[in-house]
A and B are shown apart, each in its own frame.
Chain A
């Protein structure tokens, strides 16, 4: 069964750090790109970061550039998002999604993990 499962969300103070994980199963990890998408409470979808070609290229939204780092562990079939210098406006549900490299469609999504940045 093709599946993505996120973990690592929680409550963190402004300026703090958090590391999200996304465990993949049921598909060849190296055949797809991976991305993080977030959704603030009551808001729409916002793309955060993408990693392609087994980590050779990484892209970030301007809103997180310099604060967030995307990475993968191919042996563990896991995707990560290291989030530093967190701000209140980073509060959101964070989804990982599988990206098909031939059409950049996000065809498999995790259930999401909630990050709350508050003092």
Chain B
């Protein structure tokens, strides 16, 4: 099983600042099958980034993803108050038909 470890646990930033989320895998994963999700309280997760660096439909261009191998990053370029929530990374291992999620990073907007 591939374990995804996200850091930091919590980010506390002000509007207009830049947010950087890290996700490290316990072994090399396929960038094609790597995604980021946002979840707000009481809501289902929402797909933000797929294929490590592609924005999902309707996602503002202040969200960007990068990385390969075992290290991936989600960046929010200019924070807005509505960006607060939990952010999860996710990967898929095709040889085992398994998904795994990171434990999440909480983003607080001051």
Contacts and interface: CB of A to CB of B under 8 A. Distances in A.
Interface residues of B, number: 28
A107 B47 contact: yes
Contact of B97 (A44, A50, A111): A50
A35 B96 CA distance: 15
B25 interface: no
A27 interface: no
Contact of A106 (B47, B96, B97): B47
A103 B99 contact: no
Given A44-B104, A104-B92, A57 B97 contact: yes
Interface in A39-81: 44-47, 50, 52, 57, 59, 61-62
A112 B41 CA distance: 13
Interface in B71-110: 86, 88, 90, 92, 94, 96-104
Q: Interface residues of A toward B: which range?
A: 20 to 34
A61 B1 CA distance: 10
Contacts of B57: 107
Given A44-B104, A95-B44, A112-B44, A105 B56 contact: yes
A46 B98 contact: no
A106 B102 contact: no
B50 A105 contact: yes
Given A45-B104, A109-B44, A103 B98 contact: no
A81 B67 CA distance: 34
Interface of A: 35, 37, 44-47, 50, 52, 57, 59, 61-62, 95, 100, 103-107, 109-112
List of 4 A-B pairs having minimum Cβ-Cβ separation, nearest first: A59-B97, A105-B50, A104-B92, A47-B99
Interface of B: 1, 32-33, 35, 37, 39, 44-47, 50-51, 56-57, 86, 88, 90, 92, 94, 96-104
Given A45-B37, A50-B97, 16 more contacts: A37-B99, A45-B45, A47-B98, A59-B96, A61-B98, A95-B44, A100-B50, A104-B33, A104-B35, A105-B35, A105-B51, A105-B56, A106-B37, A107-B56, A107-B57, A110-B44
